[in-house]
Copies of this chain bind each other. A is one copy, B any other.
């Protein structure tokens, strides 16, 4: 685990993305009108995602535990693709990009888990970091 005892705390943000692709328009419809049998897909996946962001250091050996001071999760529907965007912020000595990516992956998996009974063809694509600010170098990916 990297030694960060001597680093300064700075304001850090990271935005990660996951793309969940369903196989039928009916699945999108079921989410939108609240007819997925397991419940409200976006609200419950957001709850799972918040917890996932906070548990990152519990799962990844090298990750530093850190004070997650803000997390926001948004969903955008485009055809059969739902884009999940997870934004994490902290004021600490190390960045939150892995936290954001873990959150995005947990949200996507929870959507998969909730949609499985009504759509066998759900896939998860492109878990990636869109943006980070606050460390030695900022990153901005399209």
Contact = CB atoms under 8 A, between A and B. Distances in A.
Interface residues of A, number: 63
Contacts of A11: 5
A128 B123 contact: yes
Contacts of A50: 1, 61-62
Contact of A70 (B1, B66, B108, B123): B1
Nearest to A110: B60
Contact of A101 (B3, B60, B102, B112): B112
A71 B127 CA distance: 23
Contact of A62 (B38, B66, B69): B38
Nearest to A71: B1
Find the residue from A38, A44, A93, A126 having the highest chain B CB count within 10 A. Answer: A44
A109 interface: yes
Interface of A: 1-5, 11, 38-40, 43-44, 46-48, 50-52, 54-55, 57-72, 89-93, 97-98, 101-102, 105-106, 108-110, 112-114, 116-117, 120, 123-128, 137, 139
